[in-house]
Amino acid sequence: MTMTTAITGKEFVQLHPNTRQQALAQKLDYVVVDGKPYATETGEYLGDKYVHDLVPRRTEGQCKVIKSKRILEEHEVENGGFVFTFFKQSRMISERFPTLNNSDIARLMYLGTYIAWNTGRIQYDNGRVIDREGFEKLMGLSTKRSRELFKRYVEAEILAERDDCIFMNPTVFYRGNVKTISHAVSDMQHTRLFKKTIRDLYEKTNGRTVGRLALVYSVMPFLNFETNTICFNPDETDKDRLRPMGLEKLAVLLGYANAGKLKTALNRVQIDGKVVFNFYENPRDRREKRITVNPRTIFAGTGEQLAAIMVQFN
């Protein structure tokens, strides 16, 4: 039904009872942005469902919430959708998976973009199941190396195999409503990992350079959600109290010989010719470089925060 400026009493009575009930509910719980109605709770566009009285009924603050959700949704679509990835804040990935090297971590990120909604089954976007043979092809490895990698993932309790299907541990990567697995991840944080971006990054590497992609995953536990900046106190919500981590400290943390080698490695991770890791000066010490991660790879903040961070990468 096309939208009009108002719905008459007669038209309202003629609506199907279910539609009439929904219209009444939405009439009390929607906001108009740029002349179009959106559900306040979800940000869903309502104009293609039934006729609305286009009278704004929400505050400026509620309009900002709707706009923020729309910005985030557009970002998700542009970057191919996302999966949730879970981690313990300020805890090294190597502590959680001590048997995996950087190449294993990079391949795990790539594999994590191929999981099914709610089930965690490894499959292509068209629903075709990825079995052990498909795993070998997807990873681009020889049969021997593929079997060795698969064994490491199983032993680390990342993957499991049932009925010729491979399943991802939902506390590592998950697609679906997080509430359904909340009991398993109650002591963990999570962020969005964007599928298209990670696949593009992975597919532009080779066996010698694939390990660089692990840098994205390795810094994840130290990212402040408000700013996507690598910090010592990533859970801080007051920007003035953030303690950003410089190159020198991050190099030590990640096991690099010096800050120069780490900076070179970070600069080589790029999306469409644009950097994934951006450096900016510490205003208190111009010799120190702080690091922000491009939210096209991982991001857990709001649409409003996203817009502010993306300025650094445009």
138 pLDDT band, cuts 50/70/90, is very high
Q: What is the mean pLDDT of residues 64-89?
A: 92
Mean pLDDT score across all residues of the chain: 86
Nearest-angstrom CA–CA distance, 281 and 33: 38
DSSP state of 232: S
The alpha-helical segments, DSSP class H, found in the chain are: 9-14, 17-27, 60-78, 93-96, 102-112, 132-139, 143-155, 195-203, 214-219, 247-254, 259-267, 303-310
Angle at 59 between CA 56 and CA 64, to 5 degrees: 100
Neighbours of 223 (CB within 10 A): 25
Neighbours of 151 (CB within 10 A): 12
pTM, whole model, 2 decimals?
A: 0.80
Inter-residue contact 23 to 50 (CB < 8 Å): yes
More confident residue, 156 or 4: 156
Distances (CA, A) of 76 to 81, 269, 302: 5, 20, 12
Among candidate residues 18, 71, 78, 20, the one with its CA nearest the CA of residue 43: 71
Cβ neighbours of residue 9 under 8 Å, at least 6 residues apart?
Answer: none
Span of 41-50, 147-156, 173-182 with lowest mean pLDDT:
41-50
Structure confidence at residue 2 (pLDDT): 36
More confident residue, 283 or 300: 300
DSSP bridge pairs for 191: 85
Structure confidence at residue 46 (pLDDT): 67
148 pLDDT band, cuts 50/70/90, is very high
pLDDT value at 19 more than 60:
no
Structure confidence at residue 290 (pLDDT): 86
Structure confidence at residue 32 (pLDDT): 64
Q: What is the mean pLDDT of residues 290-300?
A: 96
Nearest-angstrom CA–CA distance, 88 and 172: 11
Per-residue pLDDT tens over the stretch 221-272: 999 999 999 999 999 999 889 999 999 999 999 999 999 999 999 999 999 8
Structure confidence at residue 67 (pLDDT): 87
Span of 36-50, 71-85, 160-174, 179-193 with lowest mean pLDDT:
36-50
Per-residue pLDDT tens over the stretch 97-124: 999 999 999 999 999 999 999 999 999 9
Structure confidence at residue 61 (pLDDT): 75
DSSP state of 220: G
**Residue showing tokens 């048997």:** 99
